[in-house]
Amino acid sequence: MAKKKRFSLDTRAFAQIWANHISKPSANDWRKFVLALFERFTSANELSNQAFLLSQDKQWKKWDDEKKYSFLSERAYSKATVLRRNLKENGQEVELPDGYKTRKGNTSTRVTISELGAIFAKS
C-alpha cells in the first residue's frame, strides 16, 4: 500500500514559531501565526509539503492569505492543543496566540461542567 501524503508540521519549528509569536505583542495573533507557519512549512526545503499541496491544488503557490489560512488554521490548532495539553501535564502552561477562539469567525459556546452534569442527571 502506498504511503498517504500529508502536510507535515515539524514540532520543534512549530513550537519556535509559536513561542516567537506569543512573546511579541505585535505578532501575538492567531492569523499571523498561521500565515507564518504556512510560509515556514512551504519554504524551499519543505519538498514533501510542496508535493502534498501540489496534489491538492496545482495553483497553491498563487493562494492568497485567506486560502492559506483556511488550509492551515485547523491543522495548526489541532497540533497546538495536543502540544499544549502535553506541556500542561508536564507542569508548564502555554497560551495560544490571541484570536484562536475566533479562528473560524465566531466564538463557540462550550458546554460547562454544570451543563454536562445536568445532561447526565436526566439519564
Q: How far apart are CA 60 and CA 70, in angstroms?
A: 12
How do the residues of the chain divide into helix, strand and coil, expressed in percent and rounded to 5?
A: 60, 0, 40
What is the identity of the amino acid at 38?
F
pLDDT at 2 (0 to 100): 55
CA distance 96 to 81: 8
**Separation of alpha carbons 51 and 63, rounded Å:** 15
Domain map of the chain by residue range?
11-121
Q: Rounded to two decimals, what is the model's pTM? A: 0.81
Give the other-Cβ count within 10 Å of 94's Cβ: 14
Give the pLDDT confidence score for residue 1 in this predicted structure.
54
pLDDT, tens digit (0-9, with 9 covering 90-100), for 39-83: 999 998 999 999 999 999 999 999 999 999 999 999 999 999 999
Higher pLDDT, 122 or 76: 76
Is the pLDDT confidence value at 107 over 60? no
